[in-house]
């Protein structure tokens, strides 16, 4: 059984991290990340052509995480595959021993490295979650009995600070109704708004893992504010990092404070260190989680 599910259902506060498959076939850099992050997390997300840029598939890289002795969260976006390929990859994932899946819509190809690509979006994430739920019950999306079903712990992305919140929240609730059992959220910036979102969703029986993003430099903040969809760094946080003598140290401190704050509210944290893997251990130690 998925360790992540087990821990969340026992009420343990979980930690998840993230590794990116390479562009190419050499997985050694990713494996170094896995060695650093694996021991301090319950599970590791393995991204799927993140940011609509080409990488080795999440399927193969998730398997590599498993073989390294850690638990992957296989990510699947709806951008690059139609309903045949999505279902077929879910079946493949199950046979490869992957137990957690995070189903997301995916960034538009226009923002990625292959802007001429056709965005598939044959299904949207809510629909795919519903289909994955059916596959857990042994049926494909046509309702046919399959020769062996899947047993995924199904997760989805959620956006606690997006406005208008009622509309974004209604979508989150539909994802739960479709079968999402855990959420990994967009980076948490405003703890109060995050708490309100958790309060709105928890009655539906979902576990909420709070996204924590390391705002490691002024450049990263600018990048988020100008290039990244669905997120803005509020002025006071941006100023705090920008004005610090050592912005990196300040961002680690900020992340520690954020982890401590959401610890009272969420079911776990998902740490996105933007490549600074060593900082994850420090953040967790600082927050008393490692």
Class of residue 137 by CB neighbours under 10 A (exposed 0-12, middle 13-18, buried 19+): exposed
Min dist CB 34 to other proteins, Å, is 26
CB of 110 to other proteins, least distance (A): 6
* Closest distance of CB 167 from other proteins, Å: 5
Residues 6 or more apart from 50 whose CB is under 8 A from it? 20, 107
Q: 57 or 168: whose CB is closer to other proteins?
A: 168
Minimum separation from the CB atom of position 39 to other proteins (A): 30
Which residue, 177 or 222, is less far from other proteins as judged by CB?
Answer: 177
What is the smallest separation between the CB atom of 115 and other proteins, expressed in angstroms?
A: 11
Query: Using CB under 8 A as the criterion, which residues of the chain lie in contact with other proteins when the complex forms?
Result: 79, 83, 104-105, 107-108, 110-111, 119, 121-127, 130, 141, 157, 159, 162-164, 167-168, 170-171, 174, 177-178, 186, 229-232
Q: Which of residues 13 and 165 has its CB atom nearest to other proteins in the complex?
A: 165
Is the separation of the CB atoms in 290 and 284 below 8 Å?
yes
Give whichever of 1 and 142 is closer to other proteins, judged by the CB atom: 142
Return the number of the residue (147 or 167) whose C-beta is nearest other proteins.
167
């Amino acid at each position: 059984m998925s360790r992540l599910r087990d821990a969340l259902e026992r009420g343990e506060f979980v930690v998840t991290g993230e590794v990116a498959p390479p562009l190419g076939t050499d997985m050694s850099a990713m494996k170094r990340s896995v060695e650093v992050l694996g021991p301090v997390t319950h599970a590791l997300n393995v991204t799927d052509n993140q940011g609509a840029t080409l990488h080795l598939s999440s399927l193969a890289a998730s398997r590599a995480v498993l073989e390294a002795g850690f638990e992957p969260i296989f990510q699947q976006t709806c951008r690059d595959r139609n309903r045949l390929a999505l279902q077929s990859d879910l079946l493949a994932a199950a046979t490869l021993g992957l137990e957690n899946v995070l189903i997301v819509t995916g960034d538009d190809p226009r923002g990625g490295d292959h802007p001429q690509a056709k965005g598939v979006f044959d299904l949207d994430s809510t629909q795919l979650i519903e289909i994955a739920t059916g596959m857990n019950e042994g049926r494909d999306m046509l309702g046919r009995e399959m020769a062996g079903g899947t047993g995924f712990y199904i997760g989805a992305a959620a956006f606690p600070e997006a406005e208008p919140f009622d509309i974004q929240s209604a979508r989150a609730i539909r994802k739960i109704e479709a079968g999402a059992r855990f959420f990994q959220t967009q980076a948490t910036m405003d703890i109060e708004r995050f708490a309100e979102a958790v309060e709105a969703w928890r009655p539906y029986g979902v576990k909420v893992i709070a996204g924590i993003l390391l705002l490691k430099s002024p450049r990263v903040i600018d990048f988020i504010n100008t290039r990244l969809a669905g997120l803005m760094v509020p002025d006071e946080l941006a100023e705090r990092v920008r004005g610090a003598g050592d912005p990196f140290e300040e961002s680690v401190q900020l992340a520690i404070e954020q982890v401590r704050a959401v610890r009272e509210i969420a079911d776990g944290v998902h740490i996105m260190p933007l490549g600074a893997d060593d900082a994850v251990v420090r953040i967790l130690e600082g927050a008393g989680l490692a």
